[in-house]
Chain A
Amino acid sequence: MRTIKFIIQKEFKQIFRNKSMLPIIFVVPFVQLIILVHAATFEMKNIDMYVVDNDMSSTSRQLISKFGGSPFFRLKKTTFSIKEAEAALLSDEADVVMVINSGMEKSLVRENKASVQLLVNAINGTVAGISNYYVMSILASYNKDLITKWYGVAQSSQIKQININYSFWYNPELNYKTYMVPGILVLLVTIISLFLSGMNLVREKEIGTIEQINVTPIHKYQFIIGKLVPFWIIAMLELALGLTLGKLLFNIPIVGNIFLVFAFASVYLLAVLGIGLFISTIAHNQLQSMFFSFFFMLVFILMSGLFTSVESMPDWAQMLDRINPIYYFIRVMRMILLKGSTFKNIVSEFISISIYAIVVLSLAVWRYRKTV
């Protein structure tokens, strides 16, 4: 025990003496938290719109003014030239172009139907999809207005239709910050613990101290525990700090039991530290370790369900996500914080991450040899 205590003490001293380490541990993550949460949003505002109105009728003007009144669209220009609008689309000045051909109103009155053309810049598929959806809903609402106006209220009420009303559970206002903060917190904690533990053992290899350590009667388990515990503590502290910041700055809801989050995190961190340790037994220097960690991190993050929903991934990807620790933690974090899930609800995730931690740590311990 005394040996382990001393190794832990030594690690902490080394961490706190490293001048570049402290800011990395405590400042960088929170700057990232603040920036990322504000930046990583799917909310679409200020969609730049060009309108080519060749009809110049009261109907077309009404339609256009509908867009003008929407908070999502910014009517940049109305022109008569399709060419000009297309050029704007090409030069990224416009996100959406709506083309109204001449005779639209006439056709609407005579034939009861008319068409408008929509050109959407789909360089970014998500943005295009959402813009398209917004335009469609405005057109649909305008359609309804027209029917009411021309056929009277009586007629329109005769059309039987099912009215759909939405109610968003656990995040009624669809607040992106509520959704993102727990996820981004997971990322920050993971990055810190993975990178630090991944670099630490390698650092001893690099500066040669491992050779001196290896000839001592120190036990493998003592050394590994002594190495992991400091980072475990730092990561837990970071999580606590992050949650506090999230509550103070973004007022994220904490519906469930906060201690459950920490209980899960304590096991989760073992798994992440295990991966880091494993990396550092393979890598020969800190640079290699960085690259390995970076590779794992990138795959884990993109598949974690932070930005995209895991449920909409193909089956094989969902299967693959079972070896993604971040996936579990983000899921659990959101469940507990937003939904108020209890231990019963997350028991399967808990078991998975426990098995994960055991497997990864055993692998790392097995791989770490006290030889050169």
Chain B
Amino acid sequence: MKTVTVNNISKSYSEVKAIENISFDVNEAEIFGLIGPDGAGKTTIFRILTTLILADHGNASLLNYDVVKDYKKIRQIIGYMPGRFSLYQDLTVEENLNFFATVFGTTIKENYDLIKDIYQQIEPFKKRRAGALSGGMKQKLALSCALIHKPEILILDEPTTGVDAVSRKEFWEMLRQLKNRGITILVSTPYMDEASLCDRVALIQKGKIMQIDTPNKIVNNFEKTLYAVRAGNIYRLLQSLRESELTHSAYPFGQYVHYTAKESLNDVADLLDHLTRNGFQNIEIQEIKPNIEDCFMALMS
């Protein structure tokens, strides 16, 4: 059985089409990632699934409960963490948790084992007001509050945005553990490097889904051979490559420029020739394995 099914949903805000004909399924106990830049429509999808807004067209269901008809039921089985920190900043850590437990008709004690691992990390600060917590701790508290009623589906809208690298790693580790407990997790992120941590991802851009697959398959589907190129001034290199007839795509990636050629035959020799003719020195070309970001860039072009 599919835990989440989304069928052809669209939503416009007056003139602007936020999402168009979005369809996807999420399996039980999997981490499903919506990967896309800001404004791609990730939050809109989540808001429809969490029954906060209605879609213009299409339908969606969670555990066979329709998001429109059975919204009351859905609100009991999902845990939602909005993109913006949405807990009461003037209440303490403990009070926040207590409040949300009560609102869901349960107590901290009842589901303590589920949040134990996460909550223990912030427990020393339980008398501190939520507003005074650091970004990483806020996320942990928000996750605890979203989990306190033992939801079957967890929906996390950009949980790691604005969180430091260490906390991000910890956070994903926690998600993995929750998944092992059988919780289905939908997560969105603008960070491409987090895509590989999901079981399956949907690459989304301008309200449309470009591809849905496991991170591995997406990477394997990359058709062209990808090269990382370096030669002196990166900006001049990028310009030169973009002007070249040989180039299929070229974009900066750290200290390198990632490059694919139109013709795969003799591509390295052609490139080297082109660069030397244009006066580049210390040319470094190496074939690399593409990552999700490369796939995203390829799909976008």
Contacts and interface: CB of A to CB of B under 8 A. Distances in A.
Contacts of A216: 75, 100, 103-104
B86 A6 contact: no
Pick the most buried of B82, B87, B89, B145: most chain A CB atoms within 10 A of its CB. B82
Interface in B67-125: 72, 75-76, 78, 80, 82, 84-91, 95, 98-100, 102-105
Contacts of A14: 88, 90-91
A212 B87 contact: yes
A208 B82 contact: yes
B86 A209 contact: yes
Interface stretch (B14-22, B45-53, B164-172, B229-237): B45-53
A212 B86 contact: yes
Nearest to A216: B103
Given A211-B52, A215-B52, A17 B90 contact: yes
Contact of B95 (A10, A210, A213, A215): A10
A208 B86 contact: yes
A213 B78 CA distance: 13
Interface in A1-17: 2-3, 6-7, 10, 13-14, 17
Contacts of A209: 86-88
B88 A372 contact: no
A7 B103 CA distance: 8
Nearest to B88: A209
A6 B97 CA distance: 12
Nearest to B98: A6
The size class of the interface chain A forms with chain B is 20 to 34
Contacts of A17: 90, 129
A205 to B, nearest CB: 11
A3 B105 contact: yes
A339 to B, nearest CB: 45
B88 A217 contact: no
Given A209-B86, A209-B87, A214 B52 contact: yes
A126 interface: no
Contacts of B129: 17
Given A3-B102, A212-B86, A212-B87, A372 B75 contact: no
Contacts of B87: 209, 212
Pick the most buried of A14, A18, A207, A216: most chain B CB atoms within 10 A of its CB. A216
A372 B47 contact: yes
Contact of A217 (B75, B80, B145): B75
Contacts of B82: 208, 211-212
Given A14-B88, A212-B82, A3 B51 contact: no
A371 B90 contact: no
Interface in A101-132: none
B101 to A, nearest CB: 9
A42 to B, nearest CB: 45
Contacts of A215: 50-52, 75, 78, 80
A163 to B, nearest CB: 69
A17 to B, nearest CB: 5
B55 to A, nearest CB: 12
Interface in B126-149: 129, 145
Contact of B72 (A210, A211, A217): A217
The size class of the interface chain B forms with chain A is 20 to 34
A146 interface: no
A208 B84 contact: yes
B52 A18 contact: no
A2 B106 CA distance: 10
Interface in B19-35: none
Contacts of A214: 52
A6 B88 CA distance: 14
Pick the most buried of B80, B99, B129: most chain A CB atoms within 10 A of its CB. B99
A371 B52 contact: yes
A17 B102 CA distance: 21
Nearest to B89: A207
B86 to A, nearest CB: 4
Given A18-B90, A371-B53, A217 B104 contact: yes
A2 B50 contact: no
Contacts of A212: 80, 82, 86-87, 100, 145
A218 interface: yes
A220 to B, nearest CB: 11
A212 B80 CA distance: 7
B105 A217 contact: yes
A313 to B, nearest CB: 44
Nearest to B73: A217
Interface string B290-301: 000000000000
A8 B91 CA distance: 13
A45 B111 CA distance: 73
Interface in A38-76: none
B2 to A, nearest CB: 21
A247 B245 CA distance: 92
A81 to B, nearest CB: 69
Contacts of B84: 208, 211
A13 B95 CA distance: 10
**7 pairs of A and B residues whose beta carbons are closest in the complex:** A212-B86, A6-B102, A208-B86, A208-B84, A215-B80, A217-B75, A211-B82
Interface of B: 47, 50-54, 72, 75-76, 78, 80, 82, 84-91, 95, 98-100, 102-105, 129, 145
19 contacts: A2-B102, A6-B102, A10-B95, A13-B91, A17-B90, A208-B85, A208-B86, A209-B86, A210-B86, A211-B82, A212-B80, A212-B86, A212-B87, A212-B100, A213-B103, A215-B50, A215-B75, A216-B104, A217-B104
